[in-house]
Amino acid sequence: MRAKWGGVLTGLVGASTIAENIEKETMAESDYQRLAGKFVVFDGPDGCGKTTQMKRFLEKAEGAGVRIRRFREPGGTPIGEQIRDLLLSTKNQEMDMRCEMLLYMASRAQLVQEQIRPALEAGECVLADRFASSTLAYQGGGGGLSSTAILQVAEIAVDGAWPHLTVVFDLPTDVAMSRLNPLWAAGKKRGDVNQNPLFDDSAVKDRIEQRARDFFERVRENYLWQAKQWPERYRVVDASKTIAQVEKQVMKVVGEFFGD
Ligand code: Z5A
């Protein structure tokens, strides 16, 4: 398992690694077999469609005989699910960003020790819905915490179990928001989305709505920055396309990453 995070954590660059050339629609049998013992993360802003794609990928990988385990963050263990409730509860509006970051990491530490490391050591493929890349994007890019500080805590939480590949699902914020709540696109009442405290603004005012939107712009930009920072283990797909088109991109980038 690799621990290659680090370097100077500043700046932002566009998604030069977006898979635009959609040629490879399926993964070869040999590509699937190379997933054994590999740790793959699907990540991206809310509404990017990663969960939809994970289900499809999982089905295909299992169909090809791959022993594959799927986890979501925060959560994935009994302790992690309790931490998830704390984090996503709309009651905890006063939660400090540092507390939030540490709770995500605490859930992750438990998940790594209890599930991810044993699965990888047993030769299974691990497919995770979010990982440390989410903390960098949300609590770092969105919340303003230093990426260096987040990575220092992550080194403790992850304890060497870094993903081999992180697939970032990139799309314009408005598209993501409109998927989660069509009212967003119409500029009307936002409502609650996935019990997300950021959106718990039942009497939406423009200032609040704008603040949430800006946050997610920064989240998106941070994911793209990560992909630029660590090109050897990140790939970006254009998640604004149809579900079938995004799936083709996923097959292409994963197949090529683990292929010959
Ligand atoms: N968070 C954090 O801040 N820091 C961290 O370290 C971690 C997480 C680990 C977890 O919420 C929250 O925790 C998350 C980040 C934060 N939210 N915030 N803020 P969650 O687990 O409840 O949800 P999520 O991870 O954000 O995933 P999601 O809401 O399930 O969305 P998704 O996985 O990105 O997308 P989806 O469920 O596959 O699709 C969303 C909708 O779009 C659905 O109706 C689909 O049918 C539709 N969809 C999907 N693909 C397409 C395409 N291609 N076209 C059109 N429509 C589509």
- Which residue shows structure tokens 């990426």? 147
For ligand 1, the distance from its centroid to the CA atom of residue 173, given in whole angstroms, is 12
Enumerate the domain spans of the chain.
31-258
C-beta of residue 173 within 8 angstroms of C-beta of residue 45: yes
Ligand 1 contact via 74 beta carbon (within 6 Å) = yes
CATH class of the domain at 31-258: alpha beta
Ligand 1 contact via 89 beta carbon (within 6 Å) = no
What pairs with residue 234 in β-bridges? 166
Mean pLDDT score of the chain, rounded to an integer? 84
Nearest residue CA, atom 27 of ligand 1? 46
Ligand 1 contact via 243 beta carbon (within 6 Å) = yes
Q: What is the pLDDT of residues 166-201, one digit of tens each?
A: 999 999 998 988 887 665 545 544 444 344 444 444
Query: Does position 43 have pLDDT exceeding 50, yes or no?
Result: yes
C-beta of residue 51 within 8 angstroms of C-beta of residue 128: no
Ligand 1 contact via 84 beta carbon (within 6 Å) = no
Which residue in 40, 232, 47 sits closest to 128, CA to CA? 40
Ligand 1 contact via 245 beta carbon (within 6 Å) = no
Q: What percent of the chain has pLDDT over 90?
A: 67
- Residue 15: the pLDDT is 36
Where does the pLDDT of residue 259 fall: very low under 50, low under 70, confident under 90, or very high at 90 and above? confident
For ligand 1, the distance from its centroid to the CA atom of residue 155, given in whole angstroms, is 25
- Which residue shows structure tokens 């989410």? 134
Where does the pLDDT of residue 24 fall: very low under 50, low under 70, confident under 90, or very high at 90 and above? low
CA dist., res. 240 & res. 250, Å (int): 13
